[in-house]
Structure 1
Amino acid sequence: MNIGVLPFFLLAALVIFTVATPQFLNLANLTNVARQSVYLVLVSLGQMLVLVTGGFDLAVGTSIALTSVISATAMVTLAVVFPDSVWLVVSLGILAGFAAALAIGVLNGLGVARFGVSPFIMTLGVQSVGAGIALFITGGVPVDGIPYEFGDVLGFGLLFGLPVPVLVAVVAIALVWIMMNRTRLGARLYAVGGNIKAARLSGINTGATLFSAYAICALLASVAGILLTARVGSGETNLGGTVALESIAACVIAGVSLRGGVGRVESVVLGAVFIVLVQNGMNLMQIGSYMQMVLIGALLILAVVIDQARYQRLVGGN
């Protein structure tokens, strides 16, 4: 199993942050890391699906923001219509958020799979369109007034003694693992990323496979958007601003190949946790957010360089 440079990065981070700050390995801090990892884990799982096919999705942040804005707006509006049906309002608001994100996934999927647009150009363009729509709806102002029960359960609730967002992430991880390892769709995603021409000649509907990857990616980002909205208690257009870079970094560090065909769910989960762990350690060390962006970008570049070197050795060996 290709896990890339992740073990070395993880070991280095644990040693550095444990030495630098005694609070790093506290149970309370590790629990906090687990909570914070949920959102990036969900997005990274979706990003992995797209990377496995040989593409990538720069619009995952917009999926989160549009989910947040649309779901919050729907809840606030429906609360007036159904003042005594809180969970009906919440359920319809969540569905509205999913629909908004799915629209982004459908656009990306159609552009890449049907019209052959470069994933970079397609997802970058959709990212801009979605961000503009979110800002137009809100005017850049947070959408307040969502039901208290929504945040109390999905943002801060406990079930079986575990945070609800963590349980949601565990279910998502299990479902994606099953999909990638036990279903035809998972096998087709790997086949398309490994060699799309060979996959087409073997009878795989490559267009439908690519479309599915982008649609599922957007839905997983939407789940993260719902949980983040519940956490902050309002619809926000700036949610997920850096998540595209972070999710790609988590995947590449975890050994997902940028050329497609290679990637494992369990490694990606660990990669996302690693990114959050590094951010948490830097926060404890009081390193500013700007320098954190520098380090995450540098880690991504280093991981890509190592992946490229590994690929060149494999090609040379053949």
Structure 2
Amino acid sequence: MTSIELTHLDRRTTATAAREVMKRLFVGLGVLPFLMLAAMITFSLMSDNFLTSRNLINVARQSSYLTIVSLGQMLALISGGIDLSVGTTLAVTSVVSAMAMVASLAAMPDMVGLAILIGVFAGLAAGVAMGAINGLGISLFGVNPFMMTLGMSSVGFGLALYLTSGIPVQGMPEAFGAILGFGTLFGVPVPIYATAVLIALVYLLLNWTRLGRYIYAVGGNIKASRLSGIEPKRTLFKTYVLCSALTTIAGLMLTARLATGEANIGGSMPLESIAACVIGGVSLSGGSGRVGGVVLGAVFIGLVQNGMNLAHVDSYLQIVAIGAILILAVIADRVRLRLASEMTN
């Protein structure tokens, strides 16, 4: 064999080995690390401000709301369902909490702290109530999660518009926004701390509690879980209540940031939260998903939105981009599963 033929053989061997390594990395890590790397390189070339510490902290703060909602969406997806009402839950929480604060402050002008507390509890009650209704419909009456949460999305949005007539609720206590919306601790925004605490709590729930194991079991095979002594109806009810509770907290944080109660916030949140989960490796078939992947998925979407803003990309085109990323992630996940099956066999 000539030296030229040996050289070509070495090149083909090297290329084959490189493809095999990339395949194994793709199967093991998923599509997210590759998307994250591509986004970091692309937007850092498009803007000198992208990789600055100030901008990255801003990305973390902006991503905190989506991260919290995505954690709730993850619970619903792991259980084998979906929650399309997360955006409406944000809106109802925002409107009810703002209206309660304004009314309480008008009745008790000198008791700002109590007015804030009343507004927070009112918002929590309204948001969790939506989750409870979703949970009852899905678990007790067997309504398909897609249809149940889609219906509740319409009901909640109409209720928020009815309460406000489409006009933002203003006159909230400034202290509420100063602490939860714009407050910082050691130079880090308060929403980031709140998000970190919730990430830890959801991680503990899924990995160290009986309810977490039940959620995975019900999503993996509801019939087998029932035969194992698990009560699927109770588990599903708790899952949707927890999903709405997390979304409600995000709604309160967004309300504090905006300093108004908005009936129109959260319109894109169902798509973005599902995208964050799917990109992060949560299966749409249920029974599979990890907290770390979802957090990275939400941060990735925040990075993309921030990068497109710095690059002056039209806001409507940003929605197109998020939808395209979701489709790409679903396709990549299917390819990854097929490759994993081939490697196993």
The two structures share one fold, judged by TM-score above 0.5: yes
> Residues of 2 paired with 1:56 and 1:191: CA distance?
16
Q: How does 1:232-247 map to 2 (within 5 A)?
A: 232-247=258-273
Corresponding residue of 1:34: 60
CA contact (8 A) 2:30 2:336 kept: no
1:17 aligns with 2:43: yes
* Cα distance, 1:315 vs structure 2: 6.4
**Aligned partner of 1:184: which letter?**
R
Gaps of 5+ in 2: 1-26
Q: How does 1:294-309 map to 2 (within 5 A)?
A: 294-309=320-335
* Cα distance, 1:216 vs structure 2: 0.6
How many residue pairs get matched?
318
Deviates more, 1:59-68 or 1:113-122: 113-122
> Residues of 2 paired with 1:220 and 1:47: CA distance?
9
> Residues of 1 paired with 2:40 and 2:217: CA distance?
36
* Cα distance, 1:33 vs structure 2: 0.3
Corresponding residue of 1:141: 167
SS in 1 for 2:67: helix
Give the one of 77, 85, 103 matched to 2:111: 85
Q: How does 1:179-190 map to 2 (within 5 A)?
A: 179-190=205-216
1:285 aligns with 2:311: yes
SS in 1 for 2:169: coil
Give the one of 199, 214, 222 matched to 1:173: 199
CA contact (8 A) 1:2 1:255 kept: no
Corresponding residue of 2:3: none
CA contact (8 A) 1:17 1:281 kept: yes
Give the one of 176, 179, 192 matched to 1:153: 179
Which of these two proteins has the greater Rg computed from alpha carbons? Answer: 2
> Residues of 2 paired with 1:279 and 1:290: CA distance?
11
* Cα distance, 1:244 vs structure 2: 0.5
1:210 aligns with 2:225: no
**Aligned partner of 1:4: which letter?**
G
Q: How does 1:195-206 map to 2 (within 5 A)?
A: 195-206=221-232
CA RMSD of aligned residues (A): 1.5
> Residues of 1 paired with 2:325 and 2:332: CA distance?
11
Q: How does 1:50-129 map to 2 (within 5 A)?
A: 50-129=76-155
* Cα distance, 1:312 vs structure 2: 4.7
* Cα distance, 1:307 vs structure 2: 2.1
> Residues of 1 paired with 2:184 and 2:310: CA distance?
26
Deviates more, 1:3-12 or 1:230-239: 3-12
Corresponding residue of 2:218: 192
**Aligned partner of 2:148: which letter?**
M
Gaps of 5+ in 1: none
**Aligned partner of 1:164: which letter?**
V
* Cα distance, 1:24 vs structure 2: 0.6
> Residues of 2 paired with 1:194 and 1:14: CA distance?
35
